[in-house]
């Protein structure tokens, strides 16, 4: 049935009113920094960091861009804020007497946050390092403070506690980036060399990589994390002087 001009006009009018109502509904809520950053995190989770702009963020909040600028001065501040609110979800109990168990739990929680927000991981790794320590948001520095407290309570010196923190997060950053980059080229293939695209590597030049095709194909991020923590924590306990055990 052919739509009459009057019907098309009415249909467009309904769509405009519906869209305006949706924007008004979003615009009815008070705008705070937390609201802006939550919207930014949702946008990055869905579309990636590259898709984030102040205009799109304003659309997500349902307000004029100038309103957004009252709470975050620029895109860099938004990116820092997104990293901040994810780091704020990482909890550390500095009173735990099992320092190794607490660090293992922190590592598992960090991996969980990374898997829940894979498109935010580059921000977690890079944004804090782009800012002097004293200028970082408290939520970003809090894990450091609490881990230092945890370890000094356990008998580490301050310098050794800092060494442990750096070793742990250096490992965690590398692990989550590696896990998120594990890509299978042809998941329908049963041959590991074909599944991983290793056939592209000349066997005479990469015999050991090709030879580990089965192990590479069987990658388990959780198991790899635990194995890495075993090595890291055992090494720290064995080599750091003055350790309270």
Structure confidence at residue 11 (pLDDT) = 43
56/40 Cα distance (integer angstroms): 9
Sorting pLDDT into bands at 50, 70 and 90, what band is 19?
Answer: very low
| pLDDT score of 7 more than 60 | no
Find the distance separating the first CA and the last CA of the chain, reported in whole Å. 81
pLDDT tens digits, 129-182: 778 888 888 899 999 999 999 999 999 999 999 999 999 999 999 999 988 876
Stretch 224-230: mean pLDDT: 96
% the chain with pLDDT above 90: 62
Structure confidence at residue 185 (pLDDT) = 64
Q: What angle do CA 82, 44, 80 make, to 5 degrees?
A: 20
pLDDT tens digits, 59-95: 999 998 899 999 999 999 999 999 999 999 999 999 9
Residue of 100 and 127 predicted with greater confidence: 100
Structure confidence at residue 242 (pLDDT) = 55
pTM of the full structure: 0.78
């Amino acid at each position: 049935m052919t739509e009459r001009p009057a019907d098309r006009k009415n249909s467009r009018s309904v769509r405009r009113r519906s869209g305006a109502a949706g924007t008004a509904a979003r615009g009815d809520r008070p705008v705070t920094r937390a609201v802006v950053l939550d919207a930014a995190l949702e946008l990055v989770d869905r579309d990636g960091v590259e898709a984030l702009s102040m205009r799109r963020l304003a659309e997500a909040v349902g307000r004029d861009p100038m309103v957004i600028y009252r709470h975050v001065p620029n895109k860099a501040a938004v990116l820092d804020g997104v990293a901040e609110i994810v780091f704020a979800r990482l909890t550390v109990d500095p009173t735990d007497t099992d320092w190794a168990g607490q660090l293992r739990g922190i590592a598992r929680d960090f991996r969980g946050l990374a898997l829940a927000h894979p498109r935010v991981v580059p921000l977690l790794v890079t944004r804090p390092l782009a800012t002097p320590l004293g200028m970082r948001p408290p939520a970003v520095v809090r894990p450091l403070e609490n881990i230092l407290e945890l370890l000094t309570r356990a008998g580490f010196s301050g310098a050794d506690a800092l060494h442990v923190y750096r070793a742990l997060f250096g490992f965690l950053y590398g692990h989550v980036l590696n896990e998120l980059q594990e890509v299978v080229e042809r998941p329908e293939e049963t041959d590991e060399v074909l599944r991983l695209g290793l056939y592209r590597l000349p066997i005479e030049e990469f015999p050991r990589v090709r030879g580990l095709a089965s192990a590479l194909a069987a990658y388990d991020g959780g198991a790899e994390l635990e194995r890495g923590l075993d090595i890291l924590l055992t090494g720290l306990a064995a080599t750091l002087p003055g350790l309270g055990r």
